[in-house]
Structure 1
Amino acid sequence: MNTLTHLFRHLWLDADDAHRAIGSDGLARLEARITESESAHSGQICLCIEASLPLRYLWRALRHGEPIGEVLRDRALTTFGKQRVWDTEQNNGVLIYLSLAEHHLEILADRGLARLVPNEEWQAVVKESSRSLHAGHLEEGLALALDGVHARLARHYPASDEESAARENTLPDRPILR
């Protein structure tokens, strides 16, 4: 893809586009899916949909030739920190980050879960979800990613009934749109 196409796509999109792409009903279904998932394990899931990269990130790809995948991974890491996904009691928070402009998905797990789930497993979830995302089925792709994250959290951090009732929800279940 040429440089101008990248630039215009990122300059054109904003958080309203992310909302329109999934819709209010779709966002509500994704939020409900996160809430339901978190009742079955002690982990926390944060879903962030970013319409376009901030210019300082985009500049790295366009001007300095850094591969867009690396720039998006770095942006996901920054989002992981800013949303405090690392700040869960058992270090088992997970960020699902979607760049709408690039239809690029990243899944980042905190260190407790990352020790238990190899990167290859996360990449398999990303690959499966990306098929739907690239076909324009954003809600379906994100639901697949949530299901993949849920399966790993439920396997490694199952919640007892007492834990589910007493656990504090430290990250918002509502998808974050930027």
Structure 2
Amino acid sequence: MSIKHGLLALLREEPKYGYQLRGEFEAATGATWPLNIGQVYTTLTRLERDGLVRAASTEADGRSTYEITEAGRTELDSWFQTPVTRESRPRDELAIKLALALAVPGVDVSAVVQRQRSATMQSLQELTRLKRGDRDGEISWRLVLESMIFAAEAEIRWLDHCESILLRHRGRPAKQPQVHEADDTTEVTR
């Protein structure tokens, strides 16, 4: 989710101050994505530059309220109608970390997997406690919380899969790079 679209969504019904937007954004996401107020105002400045919001009024103390424009509504509607693709999500740092651990000699990949599994299990337990304690919570927070639970469960399943692959390949000798003496190049085969 982009901050841009989050702010547009919060402005859909009525004009708001930057601090209101920050508070409502954090409330809607259960503070799982805390926003710095500077991020809010920087994003509002860009949205205003792009014609998606405009300053609705300015108070005597210098605070401005912002409102969504028609172009902003069109952008927001398009965002809601467009599925999120796997390619548009941030890089998976854990997958990259494991791939590099395999590529770097001397790294105990199994230990990396075990530490990650322990941390993810601890996180999953905390999320589950939060879910049990949230009997009458906001539906938006519940959806965010359940998404985090499902992501943690999927990560644990994936780590189990990684570990089984490592166990199957542990006994196999690593393929050594083949050196071509004629041109002094090295070819790595895997």
TM class by smaller structure: under 0.3
Q: TM-score if structure 2 supplies the norm length?
A: 0.25
